[in-house]
């Protein structure tokens, strides 16, 4: 049994709560995918590996809760209870595994990251830079652009003030080799058109459409076969649940990188949101709204303060 101290907000929370991942599950059901906290009680089999008070992280449906029961083999021991570790569990692992397995990054490849200053975009930027790629990141403000430059992004494009398509056509006439795409709709179309010969577009989400009843914005896919054929290009979907065999080694590597100071794990507690810091489960809905308004820089995290007198 874990006592949660921090829970992470994901774009997928809307898809899950809307029943798009499993239509057979009827409300009410628990939501949330990840948390960081301390062990407060142990089953017999878990006693061999864990101790009460130990810092742990977990990825499990239903994590928006103050206390969570998690099978011991699904828990990840941590050096301490820090929100930065939470940013690696889903967001960091998604960037790491998808780029490694599907992106086939190598030196001087051009990588476009959409929503680059978001929870997972920040890791796609940094990991592509570590592979010695040239990284272009789209974002919605100059403040986000500044953050992206600070983590090594070579060219930032503020899509509120610049025309992304024109910038790409002018500065990258040969196209980009890999796109890490999480926006969907028009951004998907634009990314597809910007692919270089043998380029690969990795779809890790389509946040622009999650709030629609049907779950996505339409794309102009009629000429998709011709576009892919013309460039020998590919589109690959990535869903973390299908890559659990890669998960633990990826997370181990990410944790080591963070501990060495080789990885920035930016977290956003919503201190600049209208009603202030995201504290307590009652603020989860505000945190989700904040993400869909595109305000966050880094991973959105909600803190769950525990009273010293709290009883199980």
Q: Cα–Cα–Cα angle for 272, 258, 108, nearest 5°?
A: 95
H or E element that contains 227? helix 224-231
Cα–Cα distance measured from residue 19 to residue 167, given in angstroms and rounded to the nearest whole number: 38
Cβ contacts of 289-292, under 8 Å, gap ≥ 24: 291/9, 291/11, 291/118, 292/14, 292/207, 292/210, 292/211
Q: What is the structure's pLDDT at 213?
A: 65
Per-residue pLDDT of the chain (312 residues; tens, 9 = 90+): 899 999 999 998 988 888 888 888 888 999 999 999 999 999 888 888 999 999 999 998 899 999 999 999 889 999 999 999 999 999 999 999 999 999 999 999 999 999 999 999 999 999 999 999 999 999 999 999 999 999 999 999 999 999 999 999 999 999 999 999 999 999 999 999 999 999 999 999 988 877 666 666 677 877 999 999 999 999 999 999 999 999 999 999 999 999 999 999 999 999 999 999 999 999 999 999 999 999 999 999 999 997 544 455
- Domains, the chain, in order of start with CATH, read 2-81+266-303 (3.90.180.10), 100-241 (3.40.50.720)
Strands laid side by side in the 110-113 sheet: 155-158, 134-139, 110-113, 176-181, 195-203, 234-237
Cα–Cα distance measured from residue 295 to residue 141, given in angstroms and rounded to the nearest whole number: 9
One-letter-per-residue 3-state SS of 99-165: HHHHHCCCCCCEEEECCCCECCHHHHHHHHHHCCCEEEEEECCHHHHHHHHHCCCCEEEECCCCCHH
Cβ neighbours, 10 Å, residue 53: 9
Would you give the DSSP letter of residue 93?
A: H
Cα–Cα distance measured from residue 165 to residue 66, given in angstroms and rounded to the nearest whole number: 45
Tell me the two tokens of residue 152. Answer: 């090594």
Q: What is the structure's pLDDT at 307?
A: 57
Q: What is the structure's pLDDT at 239?
A: 94
Classified as helix, coil or strand, 192 is helix
Tell me whether residue 141 is exposed, middle or buried, using C-beta atoms within 10 angstroms of its C-beta: 0 to 12, 13 to 18, 19 or more: middle
Q: Which of 266, 204, 188 is nearest to 240 (CA)?
A: 204
Cα–Cα distance measured from residue 242 to residue 258, given in angstroms and rounded to the nearest whole number: 25
């Amino acid at each position: 049994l874990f006592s949660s101290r921090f829970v992470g907000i994901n774009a997928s929370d809307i898809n899950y709560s809307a029943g798009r991942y499993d239509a057979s599950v009827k409300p009410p059901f628990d939501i949330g995918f990840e948390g960081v906290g301390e062990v407060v009680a142990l089953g017999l089999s878990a006693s061999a590996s864990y101790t009460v008070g130990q810092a742990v992280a977990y990825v499990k449906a239903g994590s928006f809760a103050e206390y969570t029961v998690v099978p011991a083999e699904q828990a990840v021991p941590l050096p301490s209870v820090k929100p930065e570790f939470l940013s690696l569990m889903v967001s960091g692992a998604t960037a790491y595994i998808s780029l490694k397995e599907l992106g086939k990054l190598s030196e001087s490849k051009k990588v476009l990251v959409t929503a680059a200053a978001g929870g997972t975009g920040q890791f796609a930027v940094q990991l592509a830079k570590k592979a010695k790629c040239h990284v272009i990141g789209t974002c919605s403000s100059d403040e986000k652009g500044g953050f992206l430059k600070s983590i090594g992004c070579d060219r930032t494009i503020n899509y509120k003030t610049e025309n992304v398509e024109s910038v790409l056509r002018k500065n990258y006439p040969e196209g980009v080799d890999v796109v890490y795409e999480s926006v969907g709709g028009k951004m998907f179309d634009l990314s597809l058109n910007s692919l270089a010969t043998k380029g690969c577009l990795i779809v890790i989400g389509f946040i622009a459409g999650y709030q629609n009843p049907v779950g996505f914005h339409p794309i102009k896919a009629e000429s998709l076969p011709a576009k892919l054929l013309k460039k020998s290009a590919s589109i690959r979907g990535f869903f973390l649940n299908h890559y659990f065999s890669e998960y633990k080694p990826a997370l181990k590597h990410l944790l080591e990188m963070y501990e060495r100071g080789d990885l920035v794990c930016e977290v956003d507690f919503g201190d600049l949101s209208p009603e202030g810091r995201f504290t307590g489960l009652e603020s989860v809905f505000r945190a989700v709204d904040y993400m869909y308004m595109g305000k966050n820089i880094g991973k959105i995290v909600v803190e769950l303060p525990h009273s010293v007198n709290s009883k199980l």
